[in-house]
Amino acid sequence: MKPLIQFENVHVAFGKNKVLRGLNLDIVDGESITIIGGSGSGKSVALKLLLGVLTPDQGHIYFQGRDVTTMIEKELIEMRKKFGVLFQGSALFDSLTVRENIAYPLREHFHHSEQELDRIVTNKLALVSLPGIEKMMPSDLSGGMKKRVGLARAIATDPKVILYDEPTTGLDPTNTQRINRLILQLKQKLKITSIIVTHDMDSAFKVSDRLALLKDGKICFVGTIEEVQHSKDSMVRGFIEGKMGDGEAIASVGGI
């Protein structure tokens, strides 16, 4: 079976900063894969490349067999309808209510009536266990609630793929567990393909089928949770034990 998403020999540099240096990764339909790597290793850049927000200097990225790097703007807009994104730090619009935040991608891509929007917003808020907060403003919400509203917005369009950029960073243990559970539920209930980028190893183990380790601009290891846990490879052990190799300490297994 052809992978749903393929990164093929992707290179990206910003000036002298060579961030990705031959990244290869295949992601299959319905799986939940976590890309783990230190701060500044290029995780968010990889997601932006997949959405066509950034273009690589070299290499290709395929979604459903089509090369994202050569798509024109109209094709990119069409493709992005199939993606939900939980941005790093939630990125809610402060001046919009919760309802309008969740309705935003729907208004952008579709032509729903206000009643339909109400129904979808209510339904998505129920999915993230925050019923009845439509009229609240982002400034009235806790960090954990903001993440969940961000998640409700990410799934508003019933996407095929969800990109989670640091979904649990900065959250307390209770909210971290809540987000982990939601990621799992969405995968199980809706068969959504999930790509999670994080440096939270504990969450990575809980929510993913496979882990991909990003280091020095490449995926240096990819395997199932079991393969990672049983690996004797010193680099993989280093990741698990919290040494990312690029100056970033991460939470070790079991820690937060």
Ligand X SMILES: Nc1ncnc2c1ncn2[C@@H]1O[C@H](COP(=O)(O)OP(=O)(O)OP(=O)(O)O)[C@@H](O)[C@H]1O
For ligand X, the binding residues (CB under 6 A) are 14, 17, 19, 37, 39-45, 88, 199
72 alpha-carbon distance from chain centroid: 23
Residue closer to ligand X (CB basis): 5 or 46? 46
Residue among 42 and 52 whose Cβ is closer to ligand X = 42
Partner whose footprint covers residue 198, from ligand X, Mg ion, none (CB < 5 to 8 Å by kind): none
Q: Please state the closest distance from residue 141 (CB atom) to ligand X, in A.
A: 22
Q: Are 89 and 81 in contact (CB under 8 A)?
A: no
β-bridge mates for residue 84, sequence order: 162
17 vs 113, beta carbon nearer ligand X: 17
Quote the tokens at residue 26.
């295949």
CB of 14 to ligand X, least distance (A): 3
User: Which is nearer to ligand X, 103 or 222 (by Cβ)?
Assistant: 222
**What residues line the site for Mg ion (CB under 5 A)?**
43-44
Minimum Å gap between C-beta 139 and Mg ion is 24
Q: Which partner, ligand X, Mg ion, none, binds residue 14 by CB below 5 to 8 Å per kind?
A: ligand X
**Closest CB 206 distance from Mg ion, rounded Å:** 20
99 binds, among ligand X, Mg ion, none (CB under 5 to 8 A by kind): none
Q: Which two tokens stand for residue 187?
A: 């995968």
- List the single partner that 186 binds among Mg ion, ligand X, none, CB under 5 to 8 Å by kind: none
Specify the residue, 92 or 196, whose C-beta has the smaller distance to Mg ion: 196
Q: Quick one: what does residue 168 bind among ligand X, Mg ion, none, with the CB cut-off 5 to 8 Å set by partner type?
A: none
Residues 52, 34: contact at Cβ < 8 Å? Answer: no
Minimum gap (Å) between residue 57 Cβ and Mg ion: 19
Residue number of the CB atom closest to Mg ion: 44
CA distance readout (Å), 67 to 60, 134, 161? 6, 38, 16
Q: How far is CA 161 from CA 81, 171, 247, in A?
A: 10, 23, 31
**C-alpha distance from residue 28 to each of 3, 153, 210 (Å):** 5, 24, 10
| Of 235, 238, 183, nearest in space to 206 by CA | 183
Residue 162 dihedral angles phi and psi, to the nearest 5°: -115, 135
Determine whether 34 is exposed, middle or buried from the number of CB atoms within 10 Å of its CB (0-12, 13-18, 19+): buried
